[in-house]
Structure 1
Amino acid sequence: SEQIEQLTRIISNLTQTIDDLKRMIADQSETIEKLQEQLNKNSRNSSMPPSSDGYKKPAPKSLRQKSGKKVGGQKGHKGQTLKITTKPDTVIPHFPSACSGCPQYEQCRKAAHKVETRRVADASVEIRITAHEAMEVCCPLCGASLRGTFPEDVKAPIQYGKTLQALVVAFNTVGAVSVSRIHDLFGNVFGIPLSTGTIHNMIHQCAEKISDTMDAIRGHIKDLDVAHFDETGGRVNGRLYWVHVASNQDSTYLYLSNKRGQRGMEEGKVLPNFHGIAIHDCWPAYWKYDVKHGVCCAHLLRELNGVEENHPSQKWPKAFRNLLLKMKAAKDEAVLSGLDQLEADVIEKFDRAYDRIIKKAYRENPVQENASGRRGRPKRGKILSLIDRLRDLKESVCLFVKNFAVPFDNNQAERDLRMIKVKAKVSGCFRTEEGAKDFLKIMSYTGTAKKQGVNPFHAILLALSGQARACW
């Protein structure tokens, strides 16, 4: 009897140990799977930016399908090349080298005729100084001394002209060149000793002159029927800040905040007053606004790629990806045919296919019961969370195929944010919050001007002349 009790206790302890080890193995397996998935993430199968790939860039794999067209410019495409001027500034004739030293050279030179012309276009850097002189005269009628006045924008004994200022601003913003490099460039190439403080002042003055235009751009975007929204991180004086964007195909509004979520979105004064369709990448803060939402399907395609690559047993991601691409192809074909909507039976067919794939996804990913001893709701995991999101946000995911004004992706906002990453890569972080805000103001203005067909340098020149609204 005592021996039986002892053996029973040993068995009970061993059973408890086995259960503990099972839980430990399950936890470790889950951790290994998460770490492995994290290691396998890149810009092609997740929302990570391409700059994060480093030297381990994934092999190119476009989400686009083959169109069947030949590589290069298509038939009817209007090409662009360097225009040949009919009247060159300099002409240099080239005679045969065999004629060198010939006593008949001059006679042959006069009789020679042109057989071919090749032109070389080059640029010359020239600094022009304009002297404004105030003249004084003595009136012969009244004897008073009269003196001429300088133009309103000529205020100092020596100052920099607007073209040079516009060039400095364009280098720093559109060109993403740092202030110190502009200082070196203008000193070495132009022979102009611009101090870094002067460069900062030029940029700030340009930003000040477009403040009213920025208000107009913001007001325009908040009244749009469809607008794109996104955000990206950046360093300002060593701290993490967020650059938010609200844009469409003809306007861009960028602003800085130290918050990414709703508080940061409130600071832009666009989303709180927006009543159209907001296109975004499903960041939770966007869903707090009472607007109609459109989800970026390009983000979904990358997430589906990630599930398929990291979990080969999952079959539903490929089916869902193919469905999204079929929907996009059907819409593109309808647009080319001059239609503004798909037929009701086509949309219904897509709806049924959507629901079938979601059901299949749940069958492949049943909810696991909690291990013994654990309390609370069972963990959903990333795959189940994605499936839940696709199920709950079906209307927003499919909105692009039901409303042709809604795009398939949020690439417009991502393109408008791209220069922020280029600036950080080329010039590093911003030293001050004021400098970052000035940069974003000017990039909003030049981005909008470019969408309106105005050259960014010309737009900056107009802004410095007090005519910024001419670009908008």
Structure 2
Amino acid sequence: MCIDREEILAVYEAGPEAVVELVTRLLGIIEHQSLQIAQLEERVRHLEEMLEKNSRNSSKPPSTDSYARNKPTVKSQRKKTNKHVGGQNGHPGTTLRINDDPDEVIVHPVNQCVNCGRSLASVPSDYERRQVFDIPPITINCIEHRCEIKTCPKCSHVNKALFPDGVTQPTQYGHRVKSFAVYLHTYQLLPYQRVTKLFSDILGCKISPATLVNTERSCFEKLGAFENTVKHLLKESPVINLDETGMRINAVRNWLHVAGTDKLTYYFAHRKRGSEAMDAMGILPGYTGVATHDFWKPYNKYECQHSLCNAHLLRELTGASENRDQQWPKIMSDLLICIKHHVDNDLLDTELIQRFSEDYDHITCLGVNENPPDPESNVRSKKRGRKKQTTVKNLLDRFIGHKEDILRFMYDQNVPFDNNQAEREIRMTKVQQKISGTFRSEQGAKNFCRIRGYVSTVNKNSESVIDAISAIFYGNSFVPKLQN
């Protein structure tokens, strides 16, 4: 609002009441503008926080880090040691060892003396050995099965021998070829076309993508019992890790859900991300153990115990410390790392646990003092729902309201500090999405999830992946057991 000199003089001449009215009007304008300035400052600060977010100070994945302003400076939370890079003194080496029973021996003879030319044919030999480890030429082995047909000379009945189980066609690929194809596509994440190219270049075998698809469908069907076993074992596990990530099916956004332990992995594709998908997944409903996750709110619907991922919280605390001039995020971060150190080194006792719990409460009180209630929060707003808060205030409220879930790793040694177990399960599926982009059908996504869950479980139990995939086709797939 602009008031010129003539208007001011007119108000002055009009008397005291007009002056009071003008001043009152001006104070109202100033108050309104001050509120607008505060709102705009908060908006600018919020936008700056969004620009400053990266994989180090938020839950954003590293793939979203640009090479410009928000490229994070590497600041590891690990403490520095005096160890040099590479192998440490005294560690067992893994260099090639001389094989005392080589597959082939080639003798390079010495026939005559290079100095005088005398024949050395009758001179006893000594040897210097060098060994070359290489892959022999790989070829497809064709086995022909012939079933005899004989006619009985007494009754003229035609007798025919039976083919082995699985030999059903005039020509077909064997179980090892099928296993290798599934291994390359589902475990090594090669697209179908590259798998067929590899078979052609290395094995001289022209296998079609359609054959690979049918092979994986067969593999999927044979693993139904395995998947049911894994789901049952997960529901019986005292602690499970959960996570979810986007995946595309027919170019449409879907969600890949994962539940796992250090010995089990289960993947589930669904069009939804929230509780509808979790109910369909069939693990969390009725689960009574500890569910470790990253505070995606639909998880809290289930009446099990919960443990929040502290790796996520540490990144958010880093972001709050960098973007807001407050002390509590850095102090809380140091406390969580200190507790983890004591848990990892088995240094906790009842007295320490009580002290850490009290320190936690003191830090949240400091956070409350650094984030006083907004005076406008008591004013009734026309907008419905909860009033929007700053990111750091939301984070503080999480620490205040979920103390037991955040510190559960301190009270229960079986509960992990973070949710990295589930995030590791997700990582390679994201690589598959980057390579292939999208699944062409829902069935293709289901095939991948079930077979990949089988491969991951086999890996966790230190079994050979290629042998375990072969066992599927022989009707003897790997079956995990509940760990005590």
Tell me the TM-score normalized by structure 2.
0.88
Give the 3-state SS of the residue equivalent to 2:159 in structure 1: strand
Greater Cα shift, 143-152 or 385-394: 143-152
Q: Which amino acid aligns with 1:165?
A: K
Residues 445 and 82 of structure 1: is their aligned pair in 2 closer, same or farther, counting only changes over 3 Å?
farther
Residues 9 and 124 of structure 1: is their aligned pair in 2 closer, same or farther, counting only changes over 3 Å?
farther
Could you say which residue in structure 2 is the equivalent of 1:236? 249
Greater Cα shift, 285-294 or 133-142: 133-142
Is residue 342 of structure 2 the alignment partner of residue 349 of structure 1? no
Query: 1:297-446 residue pairs with structure 2 within 5 A?
Result: 297-311=310-324, 313-334=325-346, 342-370=348-376, 375=381, 379-446=388-455
Residues 414 and 82 of structure 1: is their aligned pair in 2 closer, same or farther, counting only changes over 3 Å?
farther
- After superposition, the C-alpha distances for 1:7-35 in whole angstroms (9 at most, x for unaligned) are 66665555454444433333332222222
Give the 3-state SS of the residue equivalent to 1:272 in structure 2: coil
Q: What CA distance in whole angstroms lies between the structure 1 residues aligned with 2:135 and 2:293?
A: 45
RMSD (CA atoms): 2.8
The offset of 1:296, in angstroms, is 1.0
Could you say which residue in structure 2 is the equivalent of 1:339? none
Is residue 169 of structure 2 the alignment partner of residue 156 of structure 1? yes
- After superposition, the C-alpha distances for 1:377-402 in whole angstroms (9 at most, x for unaligned) are 76431111111110111111111111
The offset of 1:69, in angstroms, is 4.8
Q: What CA distance in whole angstroms lies between the structure 2 residues aligned with 1:51 and 1:239?
A: 21
Q: What CA distance in whole angstroms lies between the structure 1 residues aligned with 2:284 and 2:90?
A: 42
> What percentage of aligned pairs have identical amino acids?
35
Tell me the TM-score normalized by structure 1.
0.90
State which of 3, 7, 11 in structure 2 corresponds to 1:3: 11
Residues 93 and 17 of structure 1: is their aligned pair in 2 closer, same or farther, counting only changes over 3 Å?
farther
- After superposition, the C-alpha distances for 1:257-309 in whole angstroms (9 at most, x for unaligned) are 11111111111100002111111111111111111111111111111111122
Greater Cα shift, 22-31 or 234-243: 22-31
Q: What CA distance in whole angstroms lies between the structure 1 residues aligned with 2:250 and 2:33?
A: 49
Contact in 2 for aligned 1:367/1:380 (Cα 8 Å): no
Q: What CA distance in whole angstroms lies between the structure 1 residues aligned with 2:66 and 2:118?
A: 63
Give the 3-state SS of the residue equivalent to 2:60 in structure 1: coil
- After superposition, the C-alpha distances for 1:135-174 in whole angstroms (9 at most, x for unaligned) are 1123345443311121231111111111010111111111
Q: What CA distance in whole angstroms lies between the structure 2 residues aligned with 1:110 and 1:420?
A: 64
Give the 3-state SS of the residue equivalent to 1:430 in structure 2: coil
Give the 3-state SS of the residue equivalent to 1:205 in structure 2: helix
Q: What CA distance in whole angstroms lies between the structure 1 residues aligned with 2:468 and 2:88?
A: 32
Query: 1:268-279 residue pairs with structure 2 within 5 A?
Result: 268-279=281-292
Greater Cα shift, 366-375 or 226-235: 366-375
Q: What CA distance in whole angstroms lies between the structure 2 residues aligned with 1:369 and 1:118?
A: 81
Could you say which residue in structure 2 is the equivalent of 1:257? 270
Contact in 2 for aligned 1:294/1:406 (Cα 8 Å): yes
- After superposition, the C-alpha distances for 1:317-338 in whole angstroms (9 at most, x for unaligned) are 1111111111111111117xxx
Residues 66 and 277 of structure 1: is their aligned pair in 2 closer, same or farther, counting only changes over 3 Å?
same
Greater Cα shift, 186-195 or 372-381: 372-381
The offset of 1:70, in angstroms, is 5.1
State which of 34, 58, 71 in structure 2 corresponds to 1:46: 58
Q: Which amino acid aligns with 1:62?
A: S
Contact in 2 for aligned 1:459/1:471 (Cα 8 Å): no
Query: 1:197-212 residue pairs with structure 2 within 5 A?
Result: 197-212=210-225
Contact in 1 for aligned 2:268/2:281 (Cα 8 Å): yes
Could you say which residue in structure 2 is the equivalent of 1:65? 79
Contact in 1 for aligned 2:255/2:270 (Cα 8 Å): yes
Greater Cα shift, 426-435 or 245-254: 426-435
Q: Which amino acid aligns with 1:350?
A: F
- After superposition, the C-alpha distances for 1:198-225 in whole angstroms (9 at most, x for unaligned) are 1111111111110111001001101111
Q: How many residues align?
A: 463
Q: Which amino acid aligns with 1:119?
A: V
- After superposition, the C-alpha distances for 1:409-443 in whole angstroms (9 at most, x for unaligned) are 11111111111111112222212111111101001
Greater Cα shift, 112-121 or 206-215: 112-121
Residues 427 and 123 of structure 1: is their aligned pair in 2 closer, same or farther, counting only changes over 3 Å?
farther
Residues 91 and 76 of structure 1: is their aligned pair in 2 closer, same or farther, counting only changes over 3 Å?
same
Q: What CA distance in whole angstroms lies between the structure 1 residues aligned with 2:399 and 2:302?
A: 19
State which of 462, 465, 469 in structure 1 corresponds to 2:474: 465
Is residue 465 of structure 2 the alignment partner of residue 456 of structure 1? yes
Contact in 1 for aligned 2:468/2:478 (Cα 8 Å): no
Contact in 1 for aligned 2:240/2:292 (Cα 8 Å): yes
Could you say which residue in structure 2 is the equivalent of 1:86? 100
Q: Which amino acid aligns with 1:316?
A: W
Could you say which residue in structure 2 is the equivalent of 1:165? 178
Greater Cα shift, 86-95 or 115-124: 86-95
Contact in 2 for aligned 1:358/1:387 (Cα 8 Å): yes
Contact in 2 for aligned 1:454/1:471 (Cα 8 Å): no
Greater Cα shift, 135-144 or 108-117: 108-117
Could you say which residue in structure 1 is the equivalent of 2:148? 135
Q: Which amino acid aligns with 1:60?
A: V
**Unpaired segments ≥5 residues, structure 1:** 336-341
Give the 3-state SS of the residue equivalent to 1:309 in structure 2: helix
